[in-house]
Structure 1
Amino acid sequence: MNPSRTTASHASSVTMTTRPAAVADKLTKVYGQGETRVVALDGVSVEFRRGEFTAIMGPSGSGKSTLMHCMAGLDAISGGSARIGDLELTGLSDKQLTRLRRDRIGFVFQAFNLLPTLTAAENITLPLTIAGRRPDKAWLDEVIAAVGLADRLEHRPAQLSGGQQQRVAVARALAGRPEIIFADEPTGNLDSRSGAEVLGFLRDSVRELGQTVAMVTHDPVAASYADRVVFLADGHVVDELREPTAATVLDRMKRLDTGDRAG
């Protein structure tokens, strides 16, 4: 796959004119009451454009994972709006949220969350099987080729390395052609080489397969694979960086740690 930024820039210029894959509008999340009340998100507004790879970063406790969980329908929001495509998440029943997560969202977590008794192929198609949907074979073949798993499909998770297991998880997230993939520290349990491979697959899924990815990470190197980085601090969006490098991301993070949010 060609990792050139020319392709990414072209894709971004096309997708910026279309309806966003997901939108947070003045999103608020509050935990607890009284003296234990914590405002995790305080009026956060951010768009996740189609065909774009967004990294979400911030100091510990900044609200980055909370934002992802609220946008993915994993956690109820306290105020404001969260949408996947045109669908407003507030007011959806548990059953409707389950259907949304199953049919329109892909997930990649730090823990691979593979079923040990299933083969790689069965793990990849599991969400489709549960939904009663037949895989699009041509798309599935493209996804499997993209993540380099063609010779590992009959292996069970215990027979795969950590990097291979996470590639299975990425393929599983892609298999249903979701509107957006949420990835929460997807390389946290991997060595640097395996992590780079997984990040490359996520990046290429955007540039060459047209996916949309939002990734929570604390790693400037991981964030450098994205098209843009959104920075949170104390439950607020405080900065954004396009075409990031590890160095520019690290510089912005240092500013946040020292309380300097300008620029």
Structure 2
Amino acid sequence: MSHSAAAHALPHPHPGHGRGAVAARATGLSKVYGQGETRVAALDAVSVEFRRGEFTAIMGPSGSGKSTLMHCMAGLDSISSGSTLIGDTELGSLGDRQLTRLRRDKVGFVFQAFNLLPTLTALENITLPMDIAGRKPDQEWLGQIVTTLGLSGRLAHRPSQLSGGQQQRVAVARALTSKPEIIFADEPTGNLDSRSGAELLGFLHESVRALEQTIVMVTHDPVAASYADRVLFLADGRIVDEMREPTADAVLDRMKAFDAKGRTS
């Protein structure tokens, strides 16, 4: 079965929540580090929505606030002012234990480092978050994800026996298995060769289409960004532009324009 055909066979992970509902939102989000002369505004009154069934790429020069925005919206970092919501839940209203539970149950993470435990098999790594939570994975759902990602013959292997691309696919399977409201991906293709990266991005794109998954990906790569439905451009802690139906060339041109502006300002 092809990746596309397998993904289309997947059951719906979010009954009752249709495409277009808001999966995550920030309103007037600011994040300030330091005080006085050392004060740095990493995010400056950012307001943004991420809708169900949409793949968003976040781009911008180094230090523009890309990863900070993702970490604040995922509840991995505190905010200075404004509000952040996952679904209908405002993160600022939660205690540490509630926040941990929300991240575990509602949010999936895919990082550049695969963060797999070397002593566990691929399958054990995939189900680890649910095992910790005391929840049993939906076996049909798990089977479909494993098949779609081409991992069926690799589940008994430990990470050291897998290629980089296979390890990253295990990390993606882990993020998807708990049926999260939203997946945050930080440079997920950064350690992959171009073929493995393209396969991974193709699957992320397909999971948005077929599963109404919501994905927010930080990247510096215009080709990676071209797989998204829209690209948000950050500069100096603010969203300064947005592009729908991006192409790699259009994204590259936009980034060059930002670079040129930065040199002349």
TM-score by length of 2: 0.91
- List aligned pairs for 1:138-153, cutoff 5 A: 138-153=140-155
2:25–2:48: 8 Å Cα contact kept in structure 1?
Answer: yes
3-state SS, counterpart of residue 213 of structure 2: coil
Counterpart of 2:34? 32
Counterpart of 1:184? 186
1:121 aligned onto 2:128: no
Counterpart of 1:105? 107
Counterpart of 1:239? 241
Q: Provide the rounded CA distance (Å) in 1 between the counterparts of 2:147 and 2:229.
A: 23
Shift of 1:2: 3.8
1:62 aligned onto 2:64: yes
Shift of 1:254: 1.1
3-state SS, counterpart of residue 208 of structure 1: helix
Q: Provide the rounded CA distance (Å) in 2 between the counterparts of 1:191 and 1:156.
A: 21
Counterpart of 1:80? 82
1:154 aligned onto 2:118: no
2:19–2:212: 8 Å Cα contact kept in structure 1?
Answer: no
Counterpart of 1:10? none
Give the partner amino acid of 1:93. Answer: G
Aligned length: 248
Q: Which runs of 4+ in 1 moved over 4 A?
A: none
Residues 128-147 of structure 1 show CA distances to partners (whole Å, capped at 9, x for unaligned) of 00000010011111111111
Counterpart of 2:228? 226
Q: Provide the rounded CA distance (Å) in 1 between the counterparts of 2:4 and 2:169.
A: 18
3-state SS, counterpart of residue 117 of structure 2: coil
Residues 187-224 of structure 1 show CA distances to partners (whole Å, capped at 9, x for unaligned) of 11111111111111111111112211000000000000
Q: Provide the rounded CA distance (Å) in 1 between the counterparts of 2:137 and 2:27.
A: 34
Counterpart of 1:89? 91
Counterpart of 1:11? none
Shift of 1:259: 2.2
TM-score by length of 1: 0.92
Q: Provide the rounded CA distance (Å) in 1 between the counterparts of 2:239 and 2:148.
A: 33
Counterpart of 1:8? none
Give the partner amino acid of 1:194. Answer: S
Q: Provide the rounded CA distance (Å) in 1 between the counterparts of 2:26 and 2:250.
A: 25
Superposition CA RMSD, Å: 1.2
* Counterpart pick for 1:15 among 11, 19, 43: 19
Residues 116-156 of structure 1 show CA distances to partners (whole Å, capped at 9, x for unaligned) of 00000000000000000010011111111111100100000
